[in-house]
Structures are given as C-alpha cells and as structure tokens.
Homo-oligomer: A and B are copies of this chain.
C-alpha cells in the first residue's frame, strides 16, 4: 500500500508572482478547471484581501463545482490589532472557501526588520488568526514563511511560531523555504525535527533559487511531510516555485507515493502545455517529464539503441506522463532517426529498399548544405511525404517582392505575392510590421480565399542563423519558423543565400503543412477575416 501525499497547487497565487505572468479572472477559471481534471487536492485561487480580480475569481469559481478543495491565501492579522476586524481575514471568510492558508513570520530577523514588531506579538498574530479561521470552521494551513532560514538562525523561535499556529487550531504546518536557499540535507534534518517536536501534519513549500526545489520537496517527503505545495511548470517569483510537473511523477513513479487519482498522471503533459498556453509563457523544450524534448533523442548511437529497446535511453515510458518519444534528425544522427520518423508517418520505409536509400542520401545532402531538420519536423514531414508520392503542393509560387523603407522617422514594409492554385493566378499585396510579416500577410490573404481556416494559423517564433560564417562566399542563412494553429504548433526551415528568401521558404513550408489538414472551399465563399494574433515584427 502506497501512502497519500496531498498536492496543493498554487499556480493561481504564488505562480502569478513570476515575471511575465499575468492571469485574468477568465484565465484563472480555465486553469482551475484543468487542475481539477488532473486531480490535485487543493487549488489556491488567490488572495481575496489583495485585489478585486481574485474576489471575482472566488465568486465565479463556485459554479464550476470543482472536486478539489479551493483555498484562499492571506496573512496573519496586522500587528497590534484584532483578527475579527482584519479586513484581509474577513475577505477570506466572505469568499466562501472551505480552506485557507495564512502566511506568517517564523524567522526572528524578519519579525524585527520586515514586520517591525516584537517576537511575542508575532506569535499572538499567528495564534489569534488561526483561532479566528477555526471559529469559521475552515480548514486552516499555516505557511511558515522563511521557516528554514528562521530555524537555522533561531530554532526555538521558529518552532514556537509553529506551536502558536497549532495552539490557534491550524490543521497543517507548511514549512516554507521562501528564499530558496536551503539544501536538501538541511531540509531533511529540519523537517525530521519538526515531526518529532510537533505531532502535526506537515507540508513543504520550496523555491528554486538553487535549482533544488524539486529535490528539497522530495527530501521533506522522505522526512515525513505529507502535503506538497508547488506550481505547474514551476511558475513563481524569481526562479520559481517547486515544479509540480516534476514532483508528482517523481513521487508516484519513483517513490511509490499516491498523489493523483487513478490514471490521471497521463494527463500531466497536456495539463502543463495547456496552462503554459493560457499563461502565455514559453515552455522550456527540455522541461523534465512534460517538455517537448524530454524524450527526444539526437545522438545516432542513442537512436539505434532505443529502436532496440527504448529503456536503453529512457528512464520511464513517456506515455506514463502523457508525453511521447521523438527522434531528432541531425548531423549527429545516423539514418535510424529518419527511418523511425518515416515509419511514424505510415510511409513504406525500409532500409533494404532502394527508394529509402535515395531519400536518406537526399536528406544527408540537404543537411550538408545547412538544412537542420531536428527543429523543423513539419519540413521533414513534407519532404518525406513528397518523396513517397504522398503529397501534392496545394499552391505554386510564381513570384514575390517585398520592400522596406525608412524616411522621416517612419518605417514601412510591403509585400506583393503571386501564386497559383490549380492554374488560377492569385496576386495579392499586404503591409506588415517587417518584410517577413508582410510576406506572411500577403500569402495568407492569397490562400484565405480558398482555405478560410488558414486565418487561424500564426507565426509564433522566428529564428535566423548564418551558417558557415567563416566562408563568406558560400555562406547561407537558415531560418526556423514556428507556427501555431487551432490545436497544435509546428516548425519549418528555410535555407538560402538571402535571408528574405530563406524566410519565405520557411513560411511556404509552414502554410503547406497547415493545408494538410485544412479544408478547401469553393472560391465563391467569402473568407473570414480576423485580427492577426501572431508575430508581427519580422
């Protein structure tokens, strides 16, 4: 029998302290619903005492009927006052949550410097605030701020803060490494001491300033903590909070604890990516467990080994967390990478087959010229489909031109594109914030008459790299473009001696790839037009 660890998600509260993270009440509702589907135990929705957006969230979230316990965040009462009159504590009660977390000082230094009150008054603030919450029959958690720094400085005072919360009636003592500076062995030792001194359920809340938040959380669980606080993708102030997307699979798959219900662990990757979309934050490609490269193989030896048995270079089956294996095609890899990619597309690939050999040689030649397919899955797919006679281009390019002009402090880019679809010529012109954006707009305009859904495809990243920069005459430019559609995103590559032409090639590939799954309409039907939501500066 595995024992239960309670997962406390604070993406919507501590997560929003991260740089560049700003969530509307609508965003927060979407995320709460997704977290609830994943099956976390507690969802900390925000601080109703600090802003109107959070009050709105707590009102609207009720209609979602979440299974998870919703919690509100606040501080212990103000110094030299009484809990019953504390506006922030009253807001927590008004928000109607079944559980609340109060942060309170546990480090004597902070009581003196930040709070500027006496050590005794701080203990009274803690005790009385919890007594207030418990009179309202709310599950109450004490976030013991800077507990580990406090303990290292003055263990008796740090413990007395916990005892004050216990006396007030707190249900959980959550030990916080607020500054993220504590090491795993220190965490283990101090949590053990707390478990010895106080017979209470203990939680752990860590930050990633030493890149140790996950390890610190696991060390605390090993020492007896049964609640884990963290955020999806590790969002949070400075270097972020402990990343639940790493902690949960570590606890379940490696340490045999029980965190999420049933088979929900396989929703983890989708949850992480969905929340990164809502929060509008790029996910690091190499993020543990849920990143796009978490099970991506590039080395030729590695690839040939995983084709024999994926356990050779994968610590878990990616499907357990809803992720999947990817084989990157690169200069470092042998042909095994390409074969596994083509098989995944359902193409009749076979090392003994002459055609397969020709395609390999062709790809090798392209890579030698400077193409890089490892970050351009969609271009590689088009290339393979074409080679196997599995693809016909939906349009042909006849010509394009683009100009950019700066005069009297203003700058303009304009592009003209001529393409043909089934022999029918289409000639469009469009402006853009930059030449590539202008070309993108002009091509989109041309295609949208036949493929209105192309309006939902946007360029979302753009990278330029000069290759062989030492050999100037032979040098080429490689452009990598990321595009995003309704449900997925894909990457394409363009290579040319001219940066505009390389960009154009990458855009053309991106649209070709998008059209694989977009329906064509008769030209009489007018195209929908909507505001452009992608990159507009290139």
Contacts and interface: CB of A to CB of B under 8 A. Distances in A.
Interface string A293-309: 11111110110110011
A267 interface: no
Contacts of A314: 179
Contact of A254 (B181, B298, B302, B404): B181
Interface in A393-411: 397, 399-408, 411
B476 A537 contact: yes
A52 to B, nearest CB: 10
A51 B331 CA distance: 9
A347 interface: no
Nearest to A415: B404
Nearest to A298: B17
A237 interface: yes
A288 B255 CA distance: 26
Contact of A305 (B113, B216, B295): B113
Contacts of A535: 466, 469, 472, 475
Q: How many copies does the complex hold?
A: 2
Contacts of A497: 433-434, 536-537
B209 A214 contact: no
A18 B501 CA distance: 28
Interface string A113-139: 110000000000000000000000000
A216 B215 CA distance: 9
Contacts of A249: 210
A263 interface: no
A375 interface: yes
Nearest to A215: B215
A437 to B, nearest CB: 8
A113 B26 contact: no
B312 A110 contact: yes
Nearest to A25: B470
Interface string A269-297: 00000000000111011111101111111
Interface in A434-468: 434-436, 458, 460-468
A80 B216 CA distance: 46
Given A466-B462, A499-B436, A403 B406 contact: no
A288 B209 contact: yes
Nearest to A53: B331
Nearest to A407: B399
Interface of A: 16-20, 22, 24-26, 50-51, 109-110, 113-114, 178-181, 183-185, 208-212, 214-216, 218-219, 222, 234, 236-240, 243, 246, 249-250, 254-255, 280-282, 284-289, 291-299, 301-302, 304-305, 308-309, 311-316, 328, 330-332, 372, 374-375, 397, 399-408, 411, 413, 433-436, 458, 460-473, 475-477, 496-501, 504, 532-538
Given A19-B375, A413-B500, 6 more contacts: A113-B312, A114-B312, A210-B214, A210-B315, A434-B500, A458-B472
